[in-house]
């Protein structure tokens, strides 16, 4: 027997209880089972410093939808969870905490600091996992991994050593992003660009004359936003095609303040149209200048210390902060007459996303990954479609990055992270890269080594995530069965930093792709379209939404209307609408279960021939609608159109099932003495509800589980029930068409009554007039519910207008007219005015259709089904207009 649902839906009362049930039953857990096809998703690992935000909520909701969907389809579904150690973010947090305690990082030493870090991870690391569970995430928590656990560390060391052996990891001097406050190199992912007000300073460098003296009349003028970097200039560049300057290529200018002669070089990097067409070249402080410097064999002069003060290469400006030096340099250039105009200029400046300090591009000796060869399989995989990007337009961004790829700086001057497995001989300085500290130096035989103090970029370990989490470098059964994974769900903002790195790592280490598909989603913005941020104070805490509305309402809101790769705005009104939908489903389920009380459930469940013979057209109509929904929603989900799929499910449940079908069968449930008809109605109600709940389950897991388990006892959970499939025997085309005809009639009658302000309690006789026998048969078969929905005291079916008063109000539908004798309620002039408006509307539709069908371009290019659809409309509107015109003529007599 079904158990009774509570009168009102209370998410707080069921969500934690159901989630614990799922955990206890191990529904999320996947083991290797060769009899089943695997379906694997690896979670983009959230930082252990993390607090669940709307981006996490969207990302993990989408993954959960896919994994629940595939689990119900019978796949051996694994959602591999884990967290990221997030080197710099975590270290910053720990240092802040220690600072509050009056403890300096360096006082503790490396080992002492790492003890504190692991304690911090133990205390705070699982917080975001608990928050993901509140969202309903069905990850296999028994398999939870951490990017610095023993297995992942082993994988990182293995990859570093292998790539170094191939010559693809090297130590060298290149431009990197440097944070002067955190004193470490940082990745491009950690650089946040913000609009800052600044200036363009126009500076003049004297051209050296033939006698080797700086000219007092000839100068090369350029503009810069960072005058202090001129201390490290080693050339000025012009475009070799620029007629203004090409005669100067090969000559020299004098670098003021430093009094160093530097060459004028010709390079196509210089944009002739921008500014003066002259660019200062500072190879040690600008990535583009670095490349120009390599092409022209220019020296690289670093003029900054790690704390962004000027070093000895800056001459008399040594010791000044970069901004103090800027002021002093500008003032001195002005005194020398070498400063031109100063323009206000607003531009994007890179800042460190953690401490908000403006980053400094510096040339430093670091560890790099050589990218030119490594990236080739990643390019080819997307070009050939072996890996599919959804939406496809993301390929442009992907290839733009791979086409302009630079070697990847992987070393960080941090203590928290995977330490670089490089050892330096204390005696001769020989570098040995190995999985463990070497016993003796291969060069001098010394036994004393010092390990490289740096750690690896966080992205280095997360690049291995799809296979390191499954046991690599060991050849595990899990790895053989669950790899490659199926789909990666992530935001488009980390397409380069993570996605591409996983792809080339998969091909390099595993010899095959890490996943089949990458599904990109957009950002969640506030109601004004702004990016959510702490500085704007417009962030929304998903946990607060869950507390107020429930996890299901939040999940539905995040996915409804969401298209792959598109940003979306967050409105509280939409969450309320989702909560209202949950209430609608709950109340409809309670109604069905209440009507099943006291009934012989075995008869309702008995899908015998007798039951199917008792199905009425309206039952077949809803089954047919459900059947089409199953096919369409499944196709949408297979194509990652999650927002489209759930909108169809939502519309079906709310409109077709609740607002129409349930209302249509109420008279049979309340008034009919025909037990067979009642059983058929109850069977249909229950069958449609169960299937609709299954389609809704991936989106709203808690609501659907509670109703499903209360409704029937055959299966212990909707989570492990089977996904609905299309059935040819449930395709009732005729019944669909017939019931849609009745619905159109009901809508027409209700619209008229609303326009005339007639109360629903006021019943009136309704005449259905049609020369077509099949139309009259349709209304005869649906007489009981039609009368109820149309507020009819009596429904009369006839082939002509005999016996119908001339002043009766009319409704026109294809091949039929409905009349209601409302003479005492209706102003005759008002009805004529309404019909005149309807005649104009239909004429407008006819003009549009005729215009399309007479358009040669439309006829030649439109699909055949679209042309057929328009021809069908022409016939429909012509017939309806004729009826309206005839009715008008009758009333106007």
Q: Please state, in angstroms and rounded to a whole number, the distance separating the CA atoms of residues 773 and 781.
A: 12
Least Cα distance to 784 among 619, 665, 675 occurs for: 665
Tell the burial category of 843 from Cβ atoms under 10 Å away from its Cβ (0-12, 13-18, 19+): middle
Q: Please state, in angstroms and rounded to a whole number, the distance separating the CA atoms of residues 323 and 304.
A: 12
Q: Please state, in angstroms and rounded to a whole number, the distance separating the CA atoms of residues 180 and 200.
A: 23
Q: Is there a cis peptide before residue 391, judged by omega within 30 degrees of 0?
A: yes
* Cα–Cα separations (whole angstroms), residue 567 to 322, 437, 531: 38, 49, 10
Instruction: Tell me the pLDDT tens digit for each residue of 596-631.
Output: 886 766 666 666 677 788 899 999 999 999 999 999
List the binding residues: 534
Give every residue of the chain whose pLDDT is below 70, as ranges: 1-3, 534-535, 598, 600-608, 672, 712-713, 757, 822-828, 893
Q: Please state, in angstroms and rounded to a whole number, the distance separating the CA atoms of residues 378 and 728.
A: 43
**Tokens 């417009």 belong to which residue?**
538
Q: Can you say how many angstroms the Cα of residue 308 is from the centroid of all Cα atoms in its chain?
A: 38
List the binding residues for ATP: 534
Identify whether the C-beta of residue 285 lies closer than 8 Å to the C-beta of residue 177. no
For residue 111, what are its two tokens? 């080992």
pLDDT of residue 822: 64
Quick check: helix, strand or coil at residue 215?
strand
For residue 69, what are its two tokens? 């969907």
pLDDT of residue 529: 81
DSSP state of 658: I
pLDDT of residue 448: 95
Identify whether the C-beta of residue 478 lies closer than 8 Å to the C-beta of residue 471. yes
Q: Can you say how many angstroms the Cα of residue 235 is from the centroid of all Cα atoms in its chain?
A: 46
DSSP state of 446: -
Q: Please state, in angstroms and rounded to a whole number, the distance separating the CA atoms of residues 754 and 752.
A: 5
Number of Cβ atoms within 10 Å of the Cβ of 555: 29
pLDDT of residue 302: 95
pLDDT of residue 825: 55
């Amino acid at each position: 027997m079904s158990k009774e649902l509570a009168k009102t839906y209370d998410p707080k009362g069921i969500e934690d209880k159901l989630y614990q049930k799922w955990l206890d039953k191990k529904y999320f857990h996947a083991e290797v089972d060769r009899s089943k096809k695997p379906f694997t998703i690896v979670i983009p690992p959230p930082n252990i410093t993390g607090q669940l935000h709307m981006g996490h909520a969207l990302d993990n909701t989408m993954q959960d939808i896919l994994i629940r969907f595939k689990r119900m389809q019978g796949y051996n579904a694994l959602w591999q969870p884990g967290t990221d150690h997030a080197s710099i973010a975590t270290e910053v947090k720990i240092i802040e905490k220690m600072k509050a305690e009056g403890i300096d990082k360096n006082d503790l030493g490396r080992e002492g600091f790492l003890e504190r870090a692991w304690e911090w991870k133990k205390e705070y690391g699982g917080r975001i996992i608990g928050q993901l569970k509140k969202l309903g995430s069905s990850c296999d928590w028994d398999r939870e991994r951490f990017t610095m656990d023993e297995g992942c560390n082993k994988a990182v060391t293995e990859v570093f050593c292998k790539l170094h052996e191939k010559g693809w990891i090297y130590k060298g001097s290149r431009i990197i992003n440097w944070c002067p406050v955190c004193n470490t190199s940082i990745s491009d992912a950690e650089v946040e660009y913000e609009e800052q007000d600044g200036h363009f300073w126009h500076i003049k460098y004297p051209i050296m004359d033939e006698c080797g003296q700086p000219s007092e009349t000839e100068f090369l003028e350029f503009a810069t936003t960072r005058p202090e970097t001129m201390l490290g200039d080693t050339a000025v560049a012009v475009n070799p095609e620029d007629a203004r300057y090409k005669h100067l290529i090969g000559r020299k200018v004098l670098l003021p303040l430093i009094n160093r002669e530097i060459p004028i070089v010709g390079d196509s990097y210089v944009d002739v149209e921008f500014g003066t067409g002259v660019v200062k070249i500072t190879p040690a402080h600008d990535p583009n200048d670095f490349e120009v410097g390599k092409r022209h064999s220019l020296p690289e002069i670093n003029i900054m210390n790690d704390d962004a003060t000027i070093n000895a290469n800056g001459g008399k400006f040594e010791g000044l902060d970069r901004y103090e030096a800027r002021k002093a340099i500008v003032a001195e250039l002005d005194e020398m007459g070498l400063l031109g105009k100063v323009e206000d200029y607003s531009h994007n400046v890179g800042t460190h996303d953690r401490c908000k300090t403006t980053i400094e591009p510096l040339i430093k000796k670091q560890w790099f990954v050589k990218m030119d060869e490594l990236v080739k399989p990643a390019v080819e995989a997307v070009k050939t479609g072996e890996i599919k990007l959804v939406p496809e337009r993301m390929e442009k961004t992907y290839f733009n990055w791979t086409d302009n790829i630079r070697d990847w700086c992987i070393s960080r001057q941090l203590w928290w992270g995977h330490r670089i497995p490089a050892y330096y001989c204390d005696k001769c300085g020989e570098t040995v890269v190995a999985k463990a500290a070497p016993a003796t130096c291969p060069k001098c035989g010394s036994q004393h080594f010092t390990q490289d103090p740096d750690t690896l970029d966080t992205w280095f370990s997360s690049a291995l995530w799809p296979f390191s989490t499954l046991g690599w470098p060991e050849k595990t059964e899990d790895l053989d069965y669950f790899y490659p994974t199926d789909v990666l769900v992530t935001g488009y903002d980390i397409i380069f930093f993570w996605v591409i790195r996983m792809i080339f790592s998969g091909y390099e280490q595993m010899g095959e792709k890490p996943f089949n598909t990458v599904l990109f989603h957009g950002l969640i913005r506030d109601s004004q379209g702004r990016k959510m941020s702490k500085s704007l104070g417009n962030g929304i805490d998903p946990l607060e939404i869950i507390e107020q509305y429930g996890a299901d309402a939040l999940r539905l809101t995040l996915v409804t209307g969401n298209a792959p790769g598109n940003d979306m705005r967050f409105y509280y009104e939409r969450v309320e609408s989702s909560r209202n939908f949950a209430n609608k489903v709950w109340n409809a389920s309670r109604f069905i279960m209440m009507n099943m009380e006291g009934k012989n459930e075995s008869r309702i469940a008995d899908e015998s021939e007798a039951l199917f013979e008792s199905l009425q057209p309206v039952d077949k109509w809803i089954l047919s609608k459900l059947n089409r929904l199953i096919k369409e929603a499944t196709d949408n989900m297979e194509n990652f159109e999650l927002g489209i799929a759930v909108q169809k499910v939502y519309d079906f449940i709310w409109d077709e099932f609740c607002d129409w079908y349930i209302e249509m069968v109420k008279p049979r449930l309340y008034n009919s003495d025909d037990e067979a008809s009642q059983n058929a109605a109850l069977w249909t109600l229950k069958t449609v509800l169960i299937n609709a709940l299954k389609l809704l389950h991936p989106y709203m897991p808690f609501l659907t589980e509670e109703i499903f388990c209360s409704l029937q006892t055959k299966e212990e959970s909707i989570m492990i029930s089977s996904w609905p499939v299309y059935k040819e025997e449930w395709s009732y085309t005729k019944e669909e068409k017939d019931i849609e005809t009745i619905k159109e009639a009901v809508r027409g009658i209700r619209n008229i009554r609303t326009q005339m302000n007639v109360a629903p309690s006021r019943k009136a006789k309704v005449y259905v007039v049609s020369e077509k026998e099949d139309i009259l048969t349709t209304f005869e078969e649906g007489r009981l519910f039609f009368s109820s929905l149309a507020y009819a005291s009596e429904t009369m079916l006839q082939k002509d207008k005999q016996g119908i008063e001339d002043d009766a109000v009319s409704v026109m539908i294809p091949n039929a007219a409905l009349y209601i004798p409302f003479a005492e309620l209706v102003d005759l002039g008002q009805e004529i005015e309404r019909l005149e408006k309807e005649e104009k509307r239909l004429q407008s539709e006819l003009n549009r259709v005729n215009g399309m069908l007479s358009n040669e371009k439309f006829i030649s290019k439109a699909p055949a089904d679209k042309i057929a659809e328009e021809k069908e409309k022409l016939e429909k509107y012509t017939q309806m207009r004729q009826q309206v015109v005839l009715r008008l003529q009758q009333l106007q007599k």
